Amino acid sequence: MKDGLTGKLDSIYPSVMGQRNGWLGGDGDGWERGPYWIDGLLPLAYILKDEQLITKVQPWVEWTLENQAENGYIGPVPFAEEPAYEAGLQKGMRKDWWPKMVMLKVLKQYHEATGDQRVIDVLTKYFKYQLQELPNTPLDKWTFWANRRGGDNLQVVYWLYNITGDEFLMDLGDLIAEQTFPWTRVFLNDENNVDPQSPWYFYQMKRYPFDQEEIDLLTVSKIGGIHTVNLAQGLKMPAVRYLQDKDKQHLAATKEALADIRKYHGQPQGMYGGDEPLHGNDPVRGVEFCSVAEGMFSLETILKITGDMSFADQLEKITYNALPTQASDDFMTRQYFQAANQVKLTDKMEVSFETNHHKGTDFVFGTLSGYPCCTSNMHQSWPKYVQNLWYATADGGVAALLYAPSEVALKVGNGATLKVKEQTGYPFRETVNFSMTLSEPAAFPFHLRIPAWTNNPQIRINGNSWKGTIRDQVAIIDRAWKSGDQVTLQLPMEIKSSQWYQFSTAIERGPLVYALKIEDKKVPKDRHDGYGKFYEVHPVSDWNYGLLQHELDDIQEHVKVEEADWDGAYPWNLENAPVQLKMSGAKVPEWSLHRDVPVMPGFWSKSIQDTSLVEEITLVPYGCTTLRITEFPVYNVPH
């Protein structure tokens, strides 16, 4: 990321990230894209302790902190008259509450990294400004984005309250919650159980007349066309609000929302079909990169508030499947949309709601293809995941809730300094090793998440089995520790199948989803338009395979796991995939491309009589693929 778009976006995208940006005091782009970039660059810079990246971050933070208006307003200075249009720039809407919410996240992280007191002073003044202004200029005054994304604002209000204890922040919390889209109520709606004649419905129609598709969610409930990034960000709002009002309906709402998303729009990699609006669970439907990044941040937020490990399971599934595949290995290009089934990526694809808006660039790999919002917002994904690998706990201990090679230092017990080094090949391997270094012997609890997908996990301390109880997917090892202690967590990964669109089947093992290995070639393209250079990806091996029902019926017997030699180097491509699966597949002759899209074949015939069509196929982790079939049709074959 440092050597890719995250570290170089100011030189790669200078029209937006250069000195003309409104968040640097300029007359250019003044909306969300600048803060989006810094929201990922800042945590990366401080995690790496990289002075070059910190230097890139600093002007954005300094300008915001040093140019607050007397009334408390922060952000780009509004124009006296709306500026003339410039292609590729979002110059207007400078008063909009929404982009300021992203900068609030930036300032919060900056304070956590540096302790700079100016952040507390500026945020206190800004939130007093909000409390005064919101009654007359509500969140949806200029655009509806702030109304849908008020949870981002609210969580920083609560963060500041936990530092200062200023009671006016609780009043502001109530006001922001009142003006934010009612996510809890929407998530809890029963299917087709909202009366279109109700006062509530007419209130929504009057308040949000420009957003009929989202209001339809209130009448057709689980199959509405709500905006996918709004949904990803809205997922956190009920849990954030729970911090203040303690209404347990909020927690139930988020659970129900995730279950409904899985049922009506879900794809195996943990995300949902939605090319801007939600569009069902067809595996060729696009998943926007911004939805991945924001969905991860919401789940990280919810996990910290609830301590519910099901959110960690969901977060890991997205992170180790959806996330790595949507950016190129060098982090210099990305897809605007990915899909569970994609076998040819071209500018001729006609599957996306946005096809006509972006001239076919939604699925190709580029810098400005599709919408450039993802070019700016993709950067928060990995750094914030790293921030959430480890937690201090209220009982004076430490918790590892997400697994990856890492190190952490923190205070435990009665103030001893603990350093833990985690060494693992997870998510490709089953074993996670922890080595402890302590400033002095100390007693404290060590919390370990046990994923829901594993059976018979094993924990060993210095080689000896731990026989404690696992509750709510957490093992708590409470004992006296000393330097040199070793903890080994063994998480057996069984091969499983799951059912998706039109009875199609996906193959999973542990936290990973597996997809057909399809060899590919990159085809550079430059149409000399506003979408810049990009490359298409074409298949050079067959892709039209179905799975065999009798093998799925006895999947442990028929699927072979092959682990490759792997030294921990970058794993997310076909060449370096640390593990693969071998099984049988049946060639499906009638499955062909429709406008470069692998539309699922019909199921009027679910049997293949010609056994010569059966071949051995290779599946690799979803995150290692660029082209893939993940949801397979299933056939009966004589055997």
Dihedral angle, C-alpha 255, 257, 259, 263, nearest 10 °: 180
Report, as an integer, the average pLDDT of 430-445.
98
Q: Mind listing the pLDDT tens digit for each residue in 39-48?
A: 999 999 999 9
Band (217; pLDDT cuts 50, 70, 90): very low
> Is there a contact between 10 and 17 (Cβ–Cβ < 8 Å)?
yes
> Is there a contact between 462 and 485 (Cβ–Cβ < 8 Å)?
yes
Dihedral angle, C-alpha 331, 337, 342, 346, nearest 10 °: -80
Residue 519 has pLDDT above 90, yes or no: yes
> Is there a contact between 222 and 264 (Cβ–Cβ < 8 Å)?
yes
> Is there a contact between 273 and 286 (Cβ–Cβ < 8 Å)?
yes
Q: Mind listing the pLDDT tens digit for each residue in 558-580?
A: 999 999 999 999 999 999 999 99
- Cα gap 625→374, rounded to integer Å: 20
Of 514, 513, 497, 496, nearest to 505 (Cα)? 497
**In the beta sheet, which residues pair with residue 398?**
392, 446
Buried b (16+ CB within 10 A) or exposed e, 166-180: eeebeebbebbbebb
- Cα gap 334→349, rounded to integer Å: 17
> Is there a contact between 550 and 559 (Cβ–Cβ < 8 Å)?
no
> Is there a contact between 511 and 551 (Cβ–Cβ < 8 Å)?
no
Of 378, 354, 379, nearest to 531 (Cα)? 354
Indicate the SS3 state at residue 54: helix
Residue 79 tokens, joined: 């124009």
| Residue at token pair 């706990």 | 393
**In the beta sheet, which residues pair with residue 418?**
410, 438
The DSSP result for 269-308, as a single string, is: TS-B-BSSBB--S-TTS-EEHHHHHHHHHHHHHHHHHH--
What local confidence, expressed as pLDDT, does residue 198 receive? 37
Band (220; pLDDT cuts 50, 70, 90): very low
Band (158; pLDDT cuts 50, 70, 90): very high
Q: How far is CA 463 from the centre of its chain?
A: 36
Of 194, 201, 184, 182, nearest to 223 (Cα)? 194
> Is there a contact between 278 and 224 (Cβ–Cβ < 8 Å)?
yes
Band (224; pLDDT cuts 50, 70, 90): low
- Cα gap 93→136, rounded to integer Å: 17
- Cα gap 113→124, rounded to integer Å: 19
- C-alpha distance from residue 36 to each of 2, 29, 183, 423, 548 (Å): 16, 12, 23, 32, 45
Q: Mind listing the pLDDT tens digit for each residue in 172-214?
A: 999 999 999 999 998 998 654 444 443 333 333 333 333 444 4
Residue 353 has pLDDT above 90, yes or no: no
Q: Mind listing the pLDDT tens digit for each residue in 324-342?
A: 999 999 999 999 999 999 9
Q: What percent of the chain clears pLDDT 70, i.e. is strictly above it?
A: 94
Q: Mind listing the pLDDT tens digit for each residue in 405-423?
A: 999 999 999 999 999 999 9
Q: Mind listing the pLDDT tens digit for each residue in 451-496?
A: 999 999 999 999 999 999 999 999 999 999 999 999 999 999 999 9
> Is there a contact between 37 and 376 (Cβ–Cβ < 8 Å)?
yes
- C-alpha distance from residue 608 to each of 425, 543, 558, 635 (Å): 39, 17, 19, 7
Q: Which residues contact 245 (CB under 8 A, 6 or more apart)?
A: 177
What local confidence, expressed as pLDDT, does residue 80 receive? 92
- Cα gap 385→296, rounded to integer Å: 8
- Cα gap 330→307, rounded to integer Å: 35
Q: Mind listing the pLDDT tens digit for each residue in 9-35?
A: 999 999 999 999 999 999 999 999 999
Residue 137 has pLDDT above 50, yes or no: yes
Q: What percent of the chain clears pLDDT 90, i.e. is strictly above it?
A: 88
Report, as an integer, the average pLDDT of 281-295.
96
**In the beta sheet, which residues pair with residue 411?**
417
